[in-house]
Amino acid sequence: MNIGIVVEGPSDGAAYPALMRRLRDDIGTQQVRECGGKSGVKNKFIGFLKEFERNRAWQVDVAFVIRDSDCKPPSPIEEQLNGVLRESKFDPHFRVEFFAIKCQLETWLLADENAINHISQRSGKNKLVEPVNFQFETDNGAKKRFLEQLSKAGMPAIPRIYGEIAEAADLAQVAARCSSFQQFTNRIRAL
């Protein structure tokens, strides 16, 4: 299955493809497009979907439009994005899935401190972080806490690190701490 992924920014563009590849072993080519923030997703995703449609060589089977919900209910955001697609009158040949992630991507990346520790050790930093004591899906401070954890681990907050942590995370632990991740997993696997 070849997929298109439209996300907010570079860190999302590194982490979501890594997570999706781990959730499905049949993912082939991934075309990732970044929008420069939440409002960019709403304003730019149609253009990226049209790009996926125009380039038939990519053979996109499904496109995912993903953005954070900042701890607001995800359904209205997904409905709004779906409404933008309907109003555009653009009808791509591939399926389009909208995901408003509960809170922020960093919520999921915080859920397994061992992944952060593993990447820190692998990069020669050997600085370990403790688990965060925080309400994973109700506290809007995930990004701040994640950046603090990266700093403690001696790692920069760059897309490559986001992707490596997504690759190393214990997905069962993330799902146990973040019910929205289990919902994301179910939706990806159900395609």
Six-digit token string for 56: 């038939």
Six-digit token string for 135: 């309400």
- Domain ranges in the chain are 3-103+181-190, 106-177
148-167 pLDDT, tens per residue? 999 999 999 999 999 999 99
Q: Are 156 and 120 in contact (CB under 8 A)?
A: no
Other beta carbons within 10 Å of 140 = 15
Bridge partners of residue 95, in order along the sequence: 62
DSSP 104: -
CATH architecture, domain 3-103+181-190? 3-Layer(aba) Sandwich (3.40)
35-92 pLDDT, tens per residue? 999 999 999 999 999 999 999 899 999 999 999 999 999 999 999 999 999 999 999 9
pTM of the model: 0.94
